[in-house]
């Protein structure tokens, strides 16, 4: 899939999922749940809060292309942060593989976005 297609799909999914996650109680709050998921929930929330702070803190240049690349790099970093939470707390082999794939792909996409930004100053 192209970077553009992935960015659109990922952004759409996050735009839909993030508001839902804020209103959902932690899985660990349910009866009989063990503590492993509570740490993950805190980690996911911390990653989302960091992304929101980072995105809000960065100055917008008025250049739609540059601003998009800058915001997406921060968004992809949040995906990496959440994938690291999965690797730390998750147990399912498929989800752990997916988390590692997210890290690998998002790191490359961040590098691609930063390379593009370095070649196209915002002015």
pLDDT the model gives residue 121: 87
| Within a domain: 1 | no
Kindly report, residue by residue over 15-65, the tens digit of the pLDDT. Answer: 545 554 445 444 444 433 444 567 899 999 999 998 889 888 878 899 999
Q: What is the pLDDT of residues 94-113, one digit of tens each?
A: 999 999 999 999 999 999 99
Residue 5 lies in a domain: no
According to the model, what pLDDT value does residue 92 have? 96
Residue 107's Cβ-count burial label (10 Å; 0-12, 13-18, 19+) is middle
Number of Cβ atoms within 10 Å of the Cβ of 9: 11
In a domain, 6, yes or no: no
The total number of structural domains that make up the chain: 1
**Which residue did the predictor score with more confidence, 31 or 115?**
115
In a domain, 12, yes or no: no
**Statement: the pTM of the whole predicted model exceeds 0.75:** no
């Amino acid at each position: 899939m192209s970077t553009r297609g992935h960015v659109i799909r990922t952004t759409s999914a996050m735009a839909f999922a993030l508001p839902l996650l804020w209103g959902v109680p932690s899985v660990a709050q349910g009866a009989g749940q063990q503590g492993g998921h509570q740490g993950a929930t805190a980690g996911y929330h911390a990653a989302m809060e960091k992304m929101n702070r980072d995105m809000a803190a960065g100055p917008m240049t008025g250049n739609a292309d540059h601003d998009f690349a800058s915001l997406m790099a921060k968004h992809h970093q949040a995906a990496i942060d959440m994938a690291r939470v999965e690797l730390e707390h998750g147990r399912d082999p498929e989800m752990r593989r997916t988390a590692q794939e997210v890290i690998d792909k998002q790191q490359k996409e961040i590098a691609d976005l930063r390379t593009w930004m370095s070649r196209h100053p915002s002015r």
